[in-house]
């Protein structure tokens, strides 16, 4: 992406990749992706959610942080706090949705066999139903497109983190092309980091979905509650920041 890099320039880009991977493991990012993936029982789908979160995160960073760097703009501190407040509210909504869905929908899991012989497990609910259970209602289609909600959550996190990234680059990079390359690799690092983390999250979720439904319910409830509490903490900290501004 940047021609004629010196050893120092390559070191800066490598640093961006590593910091991006570490950045994906921040508590609010982990909570958001965990709550988005909590209702999934497929390892592939859970990892997809993590990678797609990273994609949305990277797109926003390239637009906001890259634009600020290219046009020598500053991201206002007050705006940054407002964005953090929105992230906190988003976390509360994500966590509350997981918990409310468990209570309302009476989630349970079924083994499902496709015509081509593929066997997998999937979540199923009968919330609000009074009629007897009909196994034929488990027939379903598998969405192949991007999980849009996960993309939007990643983009929101990218907006909230852009101000800190611009400040970091201001003390690290010496040119706009190098800065843009840094942002790009930072984003790639966040995609890789969240994909790996999602694979770790997928193990207990997928295992419990295939063995003990009650254990999966406890995991989902714990994820939802933890995400909600973290969102409340982020909101309180943001409000304190706004009051002090």
Confidence check: pLDDT of 120 > 80: no
Question: What is the per-residue pLDDT for 141?
Answer: 47
Question: What is the per-residue pLDDT for 232?
Answer: 97
Question: What is the per-residue pLDDT for 179?
Answer: 84
Q: Among 162-171, 175-184, 228-237, which stretch is predicted with the lowest mean pLDDT?
A: 162-171
Question: What is the per-residue pLDDT for 231?
Answer: 95
Contact partners, residue 43, CB within 8 Å, separation at least 6: 199, 202, 203, 206
Question: What is the per-residue pLDDT for 188?
Answer: 94
User: Domain residues of the chain, as ranges?
Assistant: 17-105+147-244
SS3 at position 112: strand
Number of Cβ within 10 Å of residue 231's Cβ equals 24
pLDDT over 90 percentage in the chain: 34
- 159 closest CA partner among 79, 240, 241, 243: 79
* Overall size of the chain counted in residues: 245
Contact 33, 25 (CB under 8 A): no
SS3 at position 147: coil
Per-residue pLDDT band at 216 (split at 50, 70, 90)? confident
Confidence check: pLDDT of 161 > 80: yes
Residue 121 β-bridge partners: 111
Question: What is the per-residue pLDDT for 190?
Answer: 93
Question: What is the per-residue pLDDT for 243?
Answer: 92
User: What is the C-alpha to C-alpha distance for residues 36 and 198, in angstroms, rounded to an integer?
Assistant: 11
Give the C-alpha distances (Å, rounded to integers) separating 85 from 29, 30, 187, 234: 14, 17, 22, 7
User: What is the C-alpha to C-alpha distance for residues 61 and 218, in angstroms, rounded to an integer?
Assistant: 35
- 23 closest CA partner among 148, 181, 185: 185
Per-residue pLDDT band at 138 (split at 50, 70, 90)? very low
CA atoms 91, 97, 98, 100: torsion sign: positive
Contact partners, residue 143, CB within 8 Å, separation at least 6: none
Per-residue pLDDT band at 240 (split at 50, 70, 90)? very high
Confidence check: pLDDT of 244 > 90: no
């Amino acid at each position: 992406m940047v021609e004629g890099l010196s050893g120092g320039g390559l070191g800066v880009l490598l640093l961006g990749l590593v910091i991006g991977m570490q950045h994906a493991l921040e508590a609010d990012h982990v909570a958001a992706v965990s709550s988005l993936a909590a209702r999934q029982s497929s390892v592939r789908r859970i990892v997809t959610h993590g990678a797609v979160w990273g994609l949305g995160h990277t797109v926003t960073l390239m637009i906001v942080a890259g634009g600020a760097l290219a046009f020598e703009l500053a991201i206002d501190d007050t705006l940054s706090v407002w964005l953090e407040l929105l992230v906190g509210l988003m976390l509360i909504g994500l966590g509350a949705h997981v918990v409310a869905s468990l209570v309302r929908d009476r989630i349970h899991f079924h083994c499902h066999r496709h015509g081509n012989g593929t066997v997998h497990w999937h979540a199923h609910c009968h919330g609000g139903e009074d009629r007897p259970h009909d196994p034929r209602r488990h027939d379903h289609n598998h969405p192949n497109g991007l999980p849009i909600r996960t993309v939007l959550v990643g983009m929101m996190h990218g907006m909230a983190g852009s101000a800190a990234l611009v400040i970091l680059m201001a003390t690290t990079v010496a040119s706009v092309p190098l800065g843009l390359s840094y942002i790009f690799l930072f984003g790639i690092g966040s995609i890789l980091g969240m994909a790996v983390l999602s694979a770790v999250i997928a193990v207990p979720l997928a295992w419990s979905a295939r063995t003990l439904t009650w254990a999966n319910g406890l995991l989902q409830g714990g994820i939802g509650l933890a995400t909600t509490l973290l969102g409340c903490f982020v909101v309180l900290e943001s409000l304190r920041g706004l009051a002090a501004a």
